Amino acid sequence: MQRTLIILKPDCIQRHLVGRVIQRFEEKGLSIAAMKLMHIPRGLAEEHYAPHKGKPFYPGLIDYVTSGPVVVIVLQGNRSIEIARTLMGKTFGYEAAPGTIRGDFGASRSYNLVHGSDSPESAETEIALYFSGDELVDYSPAGAEWVFPKNDD
């Protein structure tokens, strides 16, 4: 079972889209393994986005993700990273396809509603930044076999 980190960013919270966004992930068959509401401290944001340090958008990104509360989620399911990224859509809302989270709710270049890990390696690193091992709940939802058959890896 693969896991991925999702962050519902301050604009998602302020626009009251949390439930609708989580619903899309759950309807696709992904399960919540951990979730919390928090303010990301500046140091943690800088550590999380360290690969982007020095890029022109970095200072604004750090200001943005620390500007208000976020919901941090660990989702799990077969191919959860690929599924979550497909559901999120392209980074800029005005480029994202209708039917995706950013395509349906986003229009900005700066405010893109949601973060999702882009690889198994980044997911592992990012999850460890926000959650301790004992905060992750491992379970099989009822009916999971109808979403992810055992021979469908």
Task: Please report the pLDDT score of residue 114 as a whole number.
Answer: 97
Task: Please report the pLDDT score of residue 148 as a whole number.
Answer: 80
In a domain, 97, yes or no: yes
In a domain, 151, yes or no: no
Q: Which CA distances in Å does 22 have to 60, 84, 151?
A: 26, 11, 27
Of the listed 16, 39, 48, 115, which one is catalytic? 115
Backbone dihedral angles phi then psi of residue 115, each to the nearest 5 degrees: -115, 145
In a domain, 153, yes or no: no
What is the extent of the structural domain holding 8?
A: 2-146
As a whole number of Å, the CA-based R_g of the chain is 15
In a domain, 110, yes or no: yes
Return the CATH number at 134: 3.30.70.141
Burial class (CB in 10 A: 0-12, 13-18, 19+), 149: exposed
pLDDT, block means (10 residues), the chain with 153 residues: 96 98 97 98 96 93 96 96 97 94 93 96 97 92 81 69
CA dihedral 37, 2, 119, 34 (to 10 degrees): 10
Task: Please report the pLDDT score of residue 153 as a whole number.
Answer: 61
Task: Please report the pLDDT score of residue 144 as a whole number.
Answer: 80
Q: How many folded domains does the chain comprise?
A: 1
**Known catalytic residue: 16?**
no
